[in-house]
Amino acid sequence: MNEVLLPPPAQRWPSKAFFKKLIWAAANSCALGGLYVWSLEKHWLRIERRPMALPDLGAGFCGAKLAHVSDLHCSPIVRQRYLRQCVEAINAEGADFVAITGDFVTGPRSYARRIAGILAGLTPKVAVLACLGNHDYGIFHPHGRGGTRELAETLCHELGHADIFVMMNERRVFEHGGASLQFVGVEDYWTPGYDPKLAFDMAHPHLPTIALCHNPDAALELARHGADWVLAGHTHGTAASSRRLSGLFMPTVHKHFTAGQYPLGDGKYLYVNRGLSYARRRHLNARPEITIFTLTRA
């Protein structure tokens, strides 16, 4: 039998996407979990577009756009230039509202002014609303441990000067064209100040309601109090560790609330944003995220 010698296959260079994945994997093997090539940042920002159906939403708010971000972690690790690029990306969407669900900073109080200066560049048509996350009370701050004195107060003060309304167990109602839309925000789930009952006691019970909380573990309780949608962050798109030591420092009740949309029953929903900072990005599905919701009537 005669052998047939096939020509060698044509050499193919790895694609640009291959190199991006390689860089991403290498960066996340570092302890800081995000020191990737800065010129690739814009390619890894995920824009997620979804409808948000709200019961009894009036025509005045049908079609309104809500941008949701979380976990900015302004710090020596997360560059301010990158966060400014994220602000530009949000502005390009032309949103009516921007919702920020906590972890603005990771570090001393000096970073409160820095992140407020960056977020002052947001240009929604109506308002920027927010709640605080566990890191906004101090580094590694579950159940009051590792708190930084007056960090939360300083952050609220600085964000207020940037026209960002931080809701600390509060609500805010907007009206347009005869329609009403209500936002309710609570303090972080791990803090002694977390009080959803106080927040919803001040809320109107029959208005379409969007709740902001940092930790998705609070979602079911907020839904029982009257939230139609709960917006959260905290996870960075990564499942909670099952290790006992991790559970001690970062306790998680609902480990399945990792990223994306979850039904809470009775037509209510939770959405967990993957966050903007580039730490703890262990796989491509956990890329930094901006979520754009289009409001519709359920």
Q: Please report the DSSP string for 174-228 in residue order.
A: EEETTEEEEEEE---TTSTT--HHHHHHSS-TTS-EEEE-S-GGGHHHHHHHT-S
Q: Looking at residues 251-276, what average pLDDT do you find?
A: 88
d(CA 43, CA 49): 17
Beta-carbon contacts of residue 62 (< 8 Å; ≥ 6 apart) = 179, 295, 296, 297
- Whether the predicted pLDDT of 97 surpasses 80: yes
State the pLDDT confidence band at 34, using cuts at 50, 70 and 90. Answer: very low
Q: Let me know: does 76 contact 35? Beta carbons within 8 Å.
A: no
pLDDT, one tens digit per residue, over 135-144 is 999 876 655 4
Residue-level pLDDT at 37? 36
What residue spans of 45-120 are helical by DSSP H?
A: 80-91, 110-119
d(CA 116, CA 165): 12
- Whether the predicted pLDDT of 199 surpasses 50: yes
Q: Let me know: does 64 contact 174? Beta carbons within 8 Å.
A: no
pLDDT, one tens digit per residue, over 233-261 is 999 887 654 444 444 445 666 567 899 99
- 117-146 in b/e burial notation, b at 16+ Cβ within 10 A? ebbbebebeebbbbbbbbbbbbbebbeeee
- Among 163-167, 188-192, 197-201, the range scoring the smallest mean pLDDT is 188-192
- Whether the predicted pLDDT of 72 surpasses 80: yes
d(CA 36, CA 22): 10
Structure tokens at 74: 């302004």
- Whether the predicted pLDDT of 63 surpasses 60: yes
Residue-level pLDDT at 59? 98
State the pLDDT confidence band at 2, using cuts at 50, 70 and 90. Answer: very low
Q: Looking at residues 21-47, what average pLDDT do you find?
A: 50
Residue-level pLDDT at 278? 72
Q: Let me know: does 57 contact 179? Beta carbons within 8 Å.
A: yes
pTM (global) more than 0.75: yes
**Domains in the chain: ranges and CATH:** 44-297 (3.60.21.10)
